[in-house]
Amino acid sequence: MARRHRTLKPLWTCPKCGARLVSKNLWHSCGRFTLEALFASSEPRVLALAKRYVAILRSLGDVQVIPQKTRLVCVARVRFAGLVPRKDHFVAGFALHRPANAPAQ
């Protein structure tokens, strides 16, 4: 089955925090935070690993990485990945278009 391509509307950028969103004034955790502040209570090696994780996500293309007060989110057109810091590790999450064990189409 062929996919129909449609023209996507440009993303709206929040003037306060710079987050890119699919529609104007869409609710989001507005604020300016840093990766270092997010991992302030974590062991230094966890921050180093998080920086590597962020580099991998940015290598995927036009990805915005947004540190928030309690988590980090990664956005292309929508939020597709993120992480939540812990003292000695972080918990990563991904949104996929298909189950991870399903064959690619």
The DSSP-derived string for 22-74 is SSTT---------HHHHTTTS-HHHHHHHHHHHHHHHTTSS-EEEE-SS-EEE
**pLDDT at residue number 4:** 66
Task: Kindly report the pTM of this predicted structure.
Answer: 0.69
Number of domains in the chain: 1
Residues (pLDDT < 70) of the chain are 1-5, 25-27, 102, 104-105
Q: In sequence order, which residues have a C-beta less than 8 Å from that of residue 102 and are 6 or more positions away?
A: none
* Domain annotation covers residue 55: yes
User: Residue 6: which residues within 8 A CB-CB, separation 6 or more?
Assistant: none
In-domain check, residue 41: yes
With respect to residue 23, please indicate whether it lies within any of the assigned structural domains: no
In a domain, 75, yes or no: yes
- Residue 82 within a domain: yes
Question: Would residue 100 count as lying in a domain?
Answer: no
CB 91 within 8 A of CB 82: no
35-46: per-residue pLDDT in tens? 999 999 999 999
* H or E element, residue 86: none
Report if residue 17 sits inside a domain: no
Domain encompassing residue 66: 31-94
Tens of pLDDT, residue by residue over 80-94, are: 899 999 999 999 998
Within a domain: 83: yes
